[in-house]
């Protein structure tokens, strides 16, 4: 599975978005360690709070099906499904990634020209062990 193919699958997922309130359609394609890909879209709600991001839709579908090892995710989004700039994951989605993924989990953040690659460690850099001070 190439990053380019994962990006294509994220773009396809974006067409499934339910985004009548913001108008921002977002798609994600999540690559599992065994090569399976789960696609997700954002699913909005009139009460805003229950809105589910594309990334979490993909993760929750995969975890329900028994997957817990993940390699990469491609994410794309834009107003009315037109990509104009990258869509970095929100804090809640980063926390969900932290639950299941290692520091080297790859993100491909799609823009109109291609994608930016980043690791989970780069977008959620806190390391507990690096901050720890031992006292006797
Ligand atoms: N959204 C995502 O699906 N993923 C992100 O990474 C950021 C935001 C959705 C939530 C909402 O439906 C819309 O984009 C506008 O914030």
| Cα separation, 10 vs 12, whole angstroms | 5
Pocket test for ligand 1, best of 22, 26, 44, 56 (most atoms within 8 A of CB): 26
SS3 content of the chain, % helix, strand, coil (to 5): 30, 25, 45
φ and ψ of 43, to 5 deg: -130, 105
Q: Is the CB of 76 under 6 A from ligand 1?
A: no
Instruction: Check if 55 is active-site.
Output: yes
Q: Residue 132: its pLDDT value, please?
A: 73
The rounded distance, in Å, linking the Cα atoms of 29 and 10 is 5
pLDDT per residue as tens digits for the range 66-95: 999 999 999 999 999 999 999 899 999 999
pLDDT at 136: 82
pLDDT tens per residue across span 92-112: 999 999 999 999 999 999 999
CA distance 69 to 109: 20
pTM of model > 0.85: yes
Rounded to the nearest angstrom, the distance between the alpha carbon of 23 and the centre of ligand 1 is 10
Ligand 1 centroid distance, CA of 134 (Å): 40
Query: Ligand 1 mean position to 42 CA, how many Å?
Result: 6
Among 12, 44, 55, 99, the active-site one is: 55
């Amino acid at each position: 599975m190439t990053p380019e193919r994962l990006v294509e699958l994220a773009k396809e997922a974006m067409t499934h978005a339910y985004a009548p309130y913001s108008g921002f359609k977002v798609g994600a394609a999540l690559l599992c360690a065994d090569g399976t890909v789960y696609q997700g879209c954002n699913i909005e709600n009139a009460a805003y709070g229950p809105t589910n991001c594309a990334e979490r839709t993909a993760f929750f579908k995969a975890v329900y099906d028994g997957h817990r090892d993940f390699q990469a995710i491609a994410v794309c989004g834009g107003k009315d499904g037109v990509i104009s700039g990258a869509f970095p994951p929100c804090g809640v989605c980063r926390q969900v990634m932290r639950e299941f993924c290692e520091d080297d989990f790859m993100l491909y953040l799609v823009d109109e020209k291609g994608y930016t690659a980043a690791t989970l460690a780069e977008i959620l850099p806190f390391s507990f062990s690096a901050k720890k001070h031992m006292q006797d």
